[in-house]
């Protein structure tokens, strides 16, 4: 899929360069790249960092809950 997308981008850029004056090339290139990046479903560095912190906190919480469950299971096991 990425090869197809990159080929599509290259084709659009070549078409823009051939059919438009040089001053419009940057504008068209930005539009083509913006469209391509939108299809890639990218996130910003800030969004990535926020989600990384959320995940780290969730992992800590899961570890705490696993320890509590293990302790409860240990308390119940000898009595059964």
What are the structural domain ranges in the chain? 1-42, 43-80
The rounded percent of the chain whose pLDDT value lies above 90 is 40
Distance CA 32, CA 12 (A): 7
Of 15, 38, 34, 39, the residue nearest 25 (C-alpha): 15
Nearest-5° angle of CA 60, CA 45, CA 63?
5
Nearest-5° angle of CA 20, CA 25, CA 27?
115
Least confident stretch, 18-22, 23-27, 51-55, 66-70: 18-22
pTM of the model: 0.51
Average pLDDT of the chain to the nearest whole number: 84
Query: Who has greater pLDDT, 47 or 37?
Result: 47
């Amino acid at each position: 899929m990425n090869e197809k997308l990159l080929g599509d981008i290259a084709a659009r850029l070549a078409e823009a360069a051939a059919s438009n004056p040089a001053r419009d090339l940057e504008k068209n290139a930005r539009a083509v790249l913006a469209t391509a990046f939108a299809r890639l479903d990218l996130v910003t560095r800030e969004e990535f960092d926020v989600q990384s912190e959320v995940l780290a906190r969730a992992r800590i919480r899961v570890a705490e809950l696993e320890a509590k469950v293990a302790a409860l299971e240990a308390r119940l096991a000898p009595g059964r």
